[in-house]
Amino acid sequence: MNLTSLFTINAGISTFYGLGSLLAPAAAVSPYGFSLSPGEMYITRLTGAVFTGLAVLSWHARNAPDSQARRSIVAGFFAGDIFGLAAALSMQLQGGANTAGWMTVFMYAFFAVNYGRHHFATSN
């Protein structure tokens, strides 16, 4: 998959999860079988803010020319997706989320593989 398409898909998914977590945190986590305490609602909203920022970054990076800055964005997304994959997979294997949680595992794996492919293809 080319990097422009990857950034575009990332922007769309990050917007969906980001805005959902910001505007309706309880509804955003209910498909996973979770309910939120007030503190968890706060953390979910903060996470939504981060995802919304990543959506904007992805959207703007999608058509940027190849540069050190764009390669740094790829490296950052790769690292974040590897750690996100580890966290999501750990949650699933411990039985912490219902089967909907596997979608999160697969999304992180998709992005980790694709950003990793671009990162290692352009690293020297």
pLDDT digits (tens, 9 = 90+) for 114-124: 999 999 996 54
* pTM of this structure: 0.92
Q: What are the DSSP calls for 4-72, one per residue?
A: HHHHHHHHHHHHHHHHHHHH-HHHHHGGGT----HHHHHHHHHHHHHHHHHHHHHHHHTTPPS-HHHHH
- pLDDT tens digit sequence for 49-103: 999 999 999 999 999 999 999 999 999 999 999 999 999 999 999 998 999 999 9
Tokens of 12: 């769309």
* pLDDT value for 107: 97
Is the CB of residue 81 less than 8 Å from the CB of residue 112?
yes
